[in-house]
Chain A
């Protein structure tokens, strides 16, 4: 009985997640074009949010050398591309 109740609870939670995600997807598509920019730092910020921002905030003030070490570390951990690394470096240590 409890197992069934927990299964139903799990499905309800999943359904809520899906509904919120669908709403977010709709509102997100309206705002995407506003954020577009050509600057490398802005593109780096976008890539940071898409990749790194999924798990954590931007680090507090770091020197370019520290950022380089962090980015190489995360390039292996999060499988960032060379282009991601270069642009995120521009964003975190302009």
Chain B
């Protein structure tokens, strides 16, 4: 396990080494988000401050070092609804990877990277996601931590004026080091994207190569019609532990810079999801009962990359029905990693 840590640290150091010698005008950047979330789930209140720093260092036109961490607090009453408030803190590395961008058809990645299964894990960091809660089926295909340690190839396999076919394929080693957990897995994703129509659909597969081995598979689509600021996204995923889907729609009243009125900064959101249990194990992090849930939310885009999210959800299950309220304020930041980089 320590070899994995040494490998990841070595990747970062070698990246800085190349950067120091490259004499290129490239500038590394710090990006990411600060957020504060408040949740009331079945009467249990909790508060979560989060910092998600992203570091990006281009090393010429073909090499790139990227990293994203997550520092998260969790403040809740000791006994759920009674007792004093206790705070816990967690830290994790979502990715720390070295990319070689060979050409449009091929990028080679080594290190720790986000597991490419369906779209939620890779494409919906908290400053993009429309709702605070992750979907119930999120853990299918992303075990054990949402990240993989190993190698990945990806790119545009076929590029045509009207459509293109993208792919990702990866293999990961099992790692139990704190903050760097990953499963021994292999898998991939393929998707067709039609830019003119704003439509994308893809399939995912993962072979979990430990605990006896099992398969996870998934399907997704995303549709953003060019003429109106309306998004529809959906995922279906299946594993021995369970299966389910989510379907989300969001209407963004002003999808570009023309957000001049308070009304144009609003974004109503709705999501429906169903989960059907299979034979869940302790590492699945899936519910042990069937769950149905709907959420409705309202996002408000403030100036200077600040967004407010509020949502209400109702969850139905044999373990008990409950209301889920969420509130979040997110600030998205980006600045150069050293002085003069903004010139």
Residue positions of A touching B, CB distance < 8 A: 2-3, 6-7, 9-10, 13-14, 16-17, 20-21, 24-25, 27-28, 31-32, 47, 49-51, 53-60, 62-63, 65-66, 68-70, 72-73, 75-79, 81-83
Contact A24 B230 (CB under 8 A): yes
Chain B contacts for A81, CB-based, 8 A: 104, 156, 159, 164
Partner of A13, one of B99, B164, B247: B247
Minimum CB–CB distance for A50 against chain B, Å: 4
A9 to B273 alpha-carbon distance, docked (Å): 10
Partner of A54, one of B25, B57, B231, B342: B231
Asked whether B257 is an interface residue with its Cβ less than 8 Å from the other chain, the reply is yes
A10 to B231 alpha-carbon distance, docked (Å): 16
Partner of B272, one of A6, A49, A51, A68: A6
Chain B contacts for A27, CB-based, 8 A: 227-228
A77 to B107 alpha-carbon distance, docked (Å): 10
Asked whether B249 is an interface residue with its Cβ less than 8 Å from the other chain, the reply is yes
Contact A53 B128 (CB under 8 A): no
Chain A contacts for B31, CB-based, 8 A: 70
Chain A contacts for B26, CB-based, 8 A: 65, 68-69
Residue of A nearest to B29 (CB): A69
Chain B contacts for A73, CB-based, 8 A: 54, 56, 64, 66
A27 to B128 alpha-carbon distance, docked (Å): 27
Q: How many A-B contacts if CB must be within 8 Å? A: 143
Minimum CB–CB distance for A92 against chain B, Å: 12
Tell me which of A10, A16, A72, A83 has the highest count of chain B C-beta atoms within 10 A of its own C-beta. A72
Partner of B274, one of A6, A63, A83: A6
Chain A contacts for B305, CB-based, 8 A: 60
Residue of A nearest to B224 (CB): A54
Asked whether B270 is an interface residue with its Cβ less than 8 Å from the other chain, the reply is yes
Residue of A nearest to B234 (CB): A14
Interface string of B265-279 (1 = CB under 8 A from A): 000001010100000
Minimum CB–CB distance for B58 against chain A, Å: 5
Using A10-B247, A13-B249 as known contacts, say yes or no to A28 and B272 having CB atoms under 8 A apart: no
Contact B155 A70 (CB under 8 A): no
A62 to B19 alpha-carbon distance, docked (Å): 21
Contact B195 A51 (CB under 8 A): yes
Using A72-B56, A72-B64 as known contacts, say yes or no to A25 and B197 having CB atoms under 8 A apart: yes
Using A13-B249, A13-B270 as known contacts, say yes or no to A69 and B58 having CB atoms under 8 A apart: yes
Using A65-B26, A66-B27, A69-B26 as known contacts, say yes or no to A6 and B294 having CB atoms under 8 A apart: yes
Residue of A nearest to B305 (CB): A60
Residue of B nearest to A14 (CB): B247
Partner of B154, one of A6, A14, A79: A79
Tell me which of A3, A69, A77 has the highest count of chain B C-beta atoms within 10 A of its own C-beta. A69
10 interchain residue pairs of minimum CB distance: A24-B225, A28-B227, A81-B104, A50-B195, A65-B27, A6-B292, A10-B272, A73-B56, A24-B227, A24-B228
Contact B342 A21 (CB under 8 A): no
Asked whether B177 is an interface residue with its Cβ less than 8 Å from the other chain, the reply is no
Tell me which of B29, B103, B226 has the highest count of chain A C-beta atoms within 10 A of its own C-beta. B226
- Please give 17 more A-B residue pairs, beta carbons under 8 A apart, in addition to A66-B29, A77-B122: A3-B292, A10-B272, A17-B230, A25-B227, A28-B226, A31-B227, A50-B226, A53-B256, A63-B336, A66-B27, A66-B341, A69-B28, A69-B56, A73-B54, A73-B66, A75-B101, A77-B123
